[in-house]
Amino acid sequence: MSRMIKWKAALGVVGLFLASAVAAGDVVSAAGIAGDGTVPCSDAIQRLIDANPNREIFFPDGTYLLDKPICTPAHPEKSVALRLSTYAKFKAAPGWTSAEAMVRLGGIHPANNIWLPGSWYWLKGGIIDGSGVAKGVSIDGGRETLVADCSMKGVLVGLHIKRGANSGSSDSDIRNVNIVGNNATNSIGVLIDGYDNTLANMRIYAVRRGVVVNSGGNCLRDIHPLVAMKKDKGFYGSTIGFEINAGHNWMDFCYSDQFCTGFKFGPRGGGVLDKCFCYWYLSKPGMRHVGFSSVGKFNAKVQSPTVVFRDNGSTNCLIEVGAPDGKGYIKDADCGNINDPRDVSAQYRKE
């Protein structure tokens, strides 16, 4: 038998194996849906989701135009997992008008059940392109939802974790997600309304507010939002890296990059911040930079932060508060060039 015939025989066996794997129901392919970027295909994708409960649906390379949100079921017996190839793209179609996200995980068939198989479902891979107007991904319901290994481009809100089914608890896990916003005045990288989530290894760019946390029980690790200074639309003074409006949150090496205010705490905001970082690569006279700002009392526990202020005419404040006598502290801070008379960091230093 010649070498060429042997190779053809081997490839035939491989092809037969792959065909049988698909036929056996391991993965459902969306290859039959138009991915040429010209035909809206939300309805076709939704039909595929509805017809394949408890299946992984794979989207090969291509551009899939969404003219309305697609929704996955939250109920374990109907849930699906969405996997996009690295270069597969969900793109908001021209004329997008929905106020909901392009992809709504757990957006239909609500459930609060972790006993049944299928309670863990996910979105992995690919690109979510908001075309400069749409919101990217939302976690609407269910529990144990995963979003991983994907990027979002031109989105108004990158990821929205809504209040979950378990008394508000979402129990979702987010990792390796990069977000580029649309730099609008109401743009947000990550919005967290549900409780008890973990987020790790994220990069966020071109948003007015990097991460907004309105709930407790969240763990954030290695989250890095960055302001798009070259595309400033006049609202730089109100940009915030992390806005924390609830207590009982944990943050580890969260990095506010060039935002006017690094970390801002609402009246009930607080938590534990460990090895967090504020950095300004650009500053000039007239700019004001704040490391940690509290609308009311300062109740955060800030440990080993690094805050790099520039000494070139900007006004620099490590801690500002709206009310005295907070229970928080800052410990082992690496910071210099503080020159704002409103700074009260000396009152909260714990060495």
Quickly count: other Cβ atoms within 10 Å of residue 247's Cβ. Answer: 17
* Burial zone of 284 (CB within 10 Å; 0-12 exposed, 13-18 middle, 19+ buried): exposed
**Strand order across the 101-108 sheet:** 70-73, 101-108, 135-139, 157-161, 188-192, 209-213, 240-244, 261-265, 288-294, 315-321
Task: Catalogue the E-assigned strands of 126-270.
Answer: 127-129, 135-139, 145-155, 157-161, 173-181, 188-192, 198-205, 209-213, 219-226, 240-244, 250-252, 255-257, 261-265
138 in Cβ contact with 107 (< 8 Å) = yes
d(CA 207, CA 94): 22
CA 15 to chain centroid, in Å, comes to 38
pLDDT at position 284: 78
pLDDT of residue 12: 41
Cβ contact 209:226 at 8 Å: no
Spatial CA neighbour of 211 closest among 167, 310, 107, 197: 197
DSSP string, 293-340: EESS---EEEES-EEE---SS-EEEEEEESSS--S-EEES-EE-----
**Digitized pLDDT (tens) for each residue of the chain, 351 residues in all:** 444 434 334 334 333 333 333 333 568 999 999 999 999 999 999 999 999 999 999 999 999 999 999 999 999 999 999 999 999 999 999 999 999 999 999 999 999 999 999 999 999 999 999 999 999 999 998 889 999 999 999 999 999 999 999 999 999 999 999 999 999 999 999 999 999 999 999 999 999 999 999 999 999 999 999 998 766 668 899 999 999 999 999 999 999 999 999 999 999 999 999 999 999 988 878 889 999 999 999 999 999 999 999 988 899 999 999 999 999 999 999 999 999 999 999 999 987
Other beta carbons less than 10 A from residue 141's beta carbon: 27
At 82 the three-state DSSP class reads strand
70, 98 contact by CB (below 8 A): no
Contact, 249 vs 242, CB < 8 A? no
CA nearest to 102, candidates 148, 78, 71: 71
Kindly report whether the global pTM for this prediction surpasses the value 0.85. Answer: yes
Q: Around Cβ 220, how many Cβ atoms within 10 Å? A: 26
Per-residue pLDDT at 316: 96
Q: What is the pLDDT of residue 2?
A: 47
Residue 232 is predicted with a pLDDT of 66
Q: How far is CA 82 from the centre of its chain?
A: 17
The pLDDT assigned to 311 comes to 86
Q: Are 128 and 149 in contact (CB under 8 A)?
A: no
Q: Which uninterrupted H or E stretch holds 56?
A: strand 56-59
CA–CA distance, 325 with 299 (Å, rounded to integer)? 9
pLDDT of 260: 95
Nearest to 300 by CA among 231, 244, 217, 219: 244
Cβ-proximal residues to 140 (8 Å cutoff; 6+ apart), any chain: 71, 74, 104, 105, 106, 107, 162
